Structures are given as C-alpha cells and as structure tokens.
Amino acid sequence: AQKVTQAQTEISVVEKEDVTLDCVYETRDTTYYLFWYKQPPSGELVFLIRRNSFDEQNEISGRYSWNFQKSTSSFNFTITASQVVDSAVYFCALSEALNAGNMLTFGGGTRLMVKP
C-alpha cells in the first residue's frame, strides 16, 4: 500500500535561511505521481508542484526547488532565502497509477515557521 512520510512535524527558521522539507514515499507501482501542496494559515490547500515517476529532473521555481531521487524514494523540497510569507504547513502527496481513481495519499505535513 502507498505511504508518504514527512518526518519533520515542525521546523522553525529565521528569515533568509534556507530550509529543506523531507518527503519519503512507499509504493509498489512503477508509475506514480508526487505532489507538494502548501496550506497557509488561512487554511486552503495550494498546489505547488507535480512530478511523475519517470522524470527525475530536479526543478527550480524562483526560491523553490525540488529534489526527486527514486533510489531513496524521496522528494524533498527546499526553500531558499525563506520569507515570513513561507510560513505554512507543507504536504507531500502520492498518487499511484494502479489506483482506479487519482486519489492522493498525503503525508502528515511539516509546519514551517519563518521568524523575522
């Protein structure tokens, strides 16, 4: 069965520090999709990135970057030069091709607090 683990429940940094959020997943499927979502204090879930299992290229979007490593079943998220507005709970999620639908299995989330 699929599983997503975010071992860091809470991280606190000072503004301008770099921070990496870890995500480890388990799946028996060879085709799967990985996601990161952000949940700011207002509560909504905001989509950040989607990666499929055949694309191990790292991605950078502004201050955000993602490191996908199939060998270690990890999909880590780094925020460079963090800002107070980055304070949120971040969720990593997995969707397997074997599933009839596209259901997402979420990790427990990492609460990031960026202090000024």
- Give yes or no for residue 14 binding another protein (CB under 8 A): no
Position 104 contacts another protein (CB under 8 A): yes
| Angle formed at CA 110 by CA 113 and CA 92, multiple of 5 degrees | 135
Q: How far is the CB of 40 from another protein (least distance, A)?
A: 11
Between 84 and 97, name the residue whose CB sits nearer to another protein. 97
Which of 101/116 has CB closer to another protein?
Answer: 101
CB 50 within 8 A of CB 61: no
* 7 interacts with another protein by CB under 8 A: no
Distances (CA, A) of 77 to 16, 19, 94, 102: 16, 8, 14, 22
Q: Is 50 in the site for another protein (CB under 8 A)?
A: yes
Residue from 55, 61, 64 nearest 32 by CA: 55
Question: Should residue 97 be labelled a site residue for another protein when binding is judged by CB under 8 A?
Answer: yes
Q: How many CA atoms lie within 13 A of 22 on its CB side?
A: 10
The reply on whether position 100 binds another protein by CB under 8 A is: yes
* Binding residues vs another protein (CB under 8 A): 31, 33, 35, 37, 43-47, 50, 91, 95, 97, 99-106, 108-109
